[in-house]
Structure 1
Amino acid sequence: MKMRASQRSNSKKNFDDNPYFEGSGTEFAREVVLKPAGYPLIGLIDDDPFIDDTDLFEAYIRDQWEGWEVETGMYLFDRELFKGFAYRVVSADPEGFAIGPETKVQIAPSNAKPEFVENKPETFISFDEIIGQDAAKKKCRLIERYLAEPETFGKWAPRNVLFHGPSGTGKTMLAKALACKADVPLIPVKATQLIGEFVGEGARQIHELYERAEDMAPCIIFIDEIDAIALDRKYQELRGDVVEIVNALITEMDGLSERKGVCTIGSTNRIQSLDSAVRSRFEEEIGFVLPTADEVEEILKSNLETFPLPVDPSFNVKRFSKEAVGFSGRDLVHKVLKTALHRAIIEDEEYVKAEYFNKALAELKKNGLDDDCRQFYA
């Protein structure tokens, strides 16, 4: 959305000078159609914006974006009343020209559907695809049952569940699998994205998040890295001024406005650092653990089958798995298998040598990630 110098100087010229409006000189668009897209951080949007004075709204739009070149598909972000709220350009006539002093601005109906939220995971994920975490998967059956029959649980509903454990052990993947199994929408949210720039903005986003979830119920709200906003108060310097956000989250989790069929799943790698007031709102805590030797072997075998190169026949997966205990599945895939494969490709090898796997694992151990992992999550 860059603006040419000529456009900046000419953007305030008389509208009659525009060649597209029977004039000559300044290049302005005749008409721009916008569609409310919501907040890009968490994909929230209320019902279609109610605009009772179109002239006033057009003046408001031009005041912010006059002189900006617009093309179909781009986004314009509100900088005034609703900072960060996005409008997508549905059409611009002509394309690539700037909003001018008298450009006609219209709002297309949004049908109250957020554009930044994936209602369902992009690909189907089953519980069987998640290796290990049997205890966690078993406990998730309760959530699945609740989402299938929310009206039968009453006050005993598992509305708030906390996933905790080492990074890379499948917390996000299990949330997606649960949504697929229950056939309900999943609203994924990064906790850091709930922190607004202005006072009250974060709290408003949380309340809008739950209102949207209620409209989509039954559904799952998955708040990843919840410790980013819910750190214990003794870490005040680290967590910053997020009191309003925490209070808004607690209010929603308390169910003062009962929202049937909405399950909040929080995820954290730092359960001991959570604010006790927030942690106490979770009726169920589900722990995730690092894979055992047998599970490491299964993870390796399932991923090696997808390699674009064959693996050295001398590579003993079972023996290697025992050496690799203490790492998460993500570390094994991205820092061992991928590293070994990439080295084989770089060296123009016909297969991935066993020594490449051993060197990748040795490098990972050298960095002390396994020790850090054990200490941090003890």
Structure 2
Amino acid sequence: MARSAQRSSLKKIPQEAIEAKEATAEIVILQPIGYPLCGIIEEYPRIEEPELFECYARMQWNGYIARKNDYLFDQRMFPDFAYRIQEVRPEDTIIGQSTTIVVNQEEKEKTDIEYPVEIAFDDIVGQVKAKRKCKLIERYLEEPERFGKWAPRNILFHGPSGTGKTMVAKALANKTDVAFLPIKATQLIGEFVGEGSRQIHQLYEKAGELAPSIIFIDELDAIALDRRYQELRGDVAEIVNALLTEMDGISQSEGVCTICATNRTAVLDGAVRSRFEEEIEFVLPGKEERKEIIKLNLQTFPIKAEANVDELAKLTNGLSGRDIVEKILKSALHNAIMDDMEKVEAHYFEKAASGLQKKETNTHLYV
């Protein structure tokens, strides 16, 4: 943040000074900012009764110096929720019982809600079975009222890292033209007790408002680890309980689909895994799929590439699509550019592939 976040509570004025009429602010306009720690979405409490909130705000911040761009922090209803002072008249005066306090509740531009438009199912090589199973989710999002209690609300994507789980989820949102709300499970584990569960409920509340919508929780095993391993990573019971409550549909809106992704199904807690009506497996690409991945990506190279696609497909056996692109193709391209080459010759790809194989072999020796 460019400017320092000054906390106005450090500058409270004694009561006798507040009573001096000329020192009191006439009006203070606040903008909701959010919580200091990163949340799921830039959500803030909606104020339904402005007059009641104004009374509450005057009582809480009575005596604080109000300076433009400073922050005021809620200490009661929503602890540590921050408001930025957009405007104060007169400037550098204090909040008193006669101060008019207004909250600007216009929606903030920045949000983690996505409306994917750049990814389509045709852009994803392979995963034929997974894409076919996604047709059920597609039908549900298009006609949620048709399914009733038989709705596929909770879906588990599982398989090796880099096999396209996130891409398929985004393509599904794009195909059905619904809001896509993504979060990594690791972001839910906060510093304070109750923070993660609050974020879960906020996420589902927002998804309900935008329904039909997709909630995508990546790295599910970070919070849904089998209880036998809980002592190794801290207590996340509140987060899991909040997630289970929402997945059970106690307060879930029609048209909200939860898609969770993991590459470690063996360590998932049984209570969590049992909530998924469908489990969709993602697999490593076969030889023909690896060839297609290589061909498609070589076409986007900024310089010409001379690669033996068949040979490269053999050398990349056992790699995910992401590994092929990021660790083989990109590595070869970057090395050719650093060598001031006008084209990426075949040996650059072979060297990248053999180097990766050696690295993985050495890693396995230490596992």
- TM band (smaller chain): 0.7 to 0.9
Corresponding position of 1:180? 174
Corresponding position of 2:218? 224
Selected match of 1:41 from 26, 39, 42: 39
Structure 1 regions of 5+ residues with no counterpart? 24-28
Residue 245 in structure 1 maps to residue 247 in structure 2: no
What is the rounded CA distance, in whole Å, between the counterparts of 1:295 and 1:228 in structure 2? 30
Q: Cα 1:165–1:339, aligned 2, differ >3 Å: closer, same or farther?
A: same
Corresponding position of 1:2? 4
2:102 is aligned with what amino acid?
Q
Residue 101 in structure 1 maps to residue 99 in structure 2: no
Selected match of 2:113 from 98, 112, 118: 118
TM-score by length of 2: 0.82
Q: C-alpha root-mean-square deviation of aligned residues, in Å?
A: 3.6
Matched position secondary structure for 2:344? coil
2:261 is aligned with what amino acid?
S
Corresponding position of 1:338? 330
Residue 157 in structure 1 maps to residue 156 in structure 2: no
Deviations 1:3-30 (A, max 9, x none): 79xx99x95689xx9xxxx99xxxxx99
Identity score, percent: 53
What is the rounded CA distance, in whole Å, between the counterparts of 2:252 and 2:301 in structure 1? 49
What is the rounded CA distance, in whole Å, between the counterparts of 2:219 and 2:32 in structure 1? 28
Q: Cα 1:124–1:350, aligned 2, differ >3 Å: closer, same or farther?
A: closer
TM-score by length of 1: 0.80
Deviations 1:261-320 (A, max 9, x none): 1110001111111000000000100000111111111111111111111113xx211111
Corresponding position of 1:347? 339
Matched position secondary structure for 1:36? strand
Q: State whether residues 233 and 275 of structure 1, in contact with CA within 8 Å, keep that contact through their aligned partners in structure 2.
A: yes
Task: Count the aligned residue pairs.
Answer: 351
Residue 360 in structure 1 maps to residue 352 in structure 2: yes
Matched position secondary structure for 2:297? helix
Q: State whether residues 28 and 66 of structure 2, in contact with CA within 8 Å, keep that contact through their aligned partners in structure 1.
A: no
**How many angstroms does 1:152 deviate by?**
1.2
Selected match of 1:167 from 144, 147, 161: 161
**How many angstroms does 1:131 deviate by?**
0.6
What is the rounded CA distance, in whole Å, between the counterparts of 1:84 and 1:343 in structure 2? 49
2:69 is aligned with what amino acid?
V
Residue 261 in structure 1 maps to residue 255 in structure 2: yes
Corresponding position of 1:316? 308
What is the rounded CA distance, in whole Å, between the counterparts of 1:205 and 1:281 in structure 2? 20
What is the rounded CA distance, in whole Å, between the counterparts of 2:11 and 2:208 in structure 1? 44
Deviations 1:306-339 (A, max 9, x none): 1111113xx2111111111111111111111111
1:106 is aligned with what amino acid?
V
Matched position secondary structure for 1:153? helix
Q: State whether residues 36 and 48 of structure 1, in contact with CA within 8 Å, keep that contact through their aligned partners in structure 2.
A: no
Corresponding position of 1:26? none
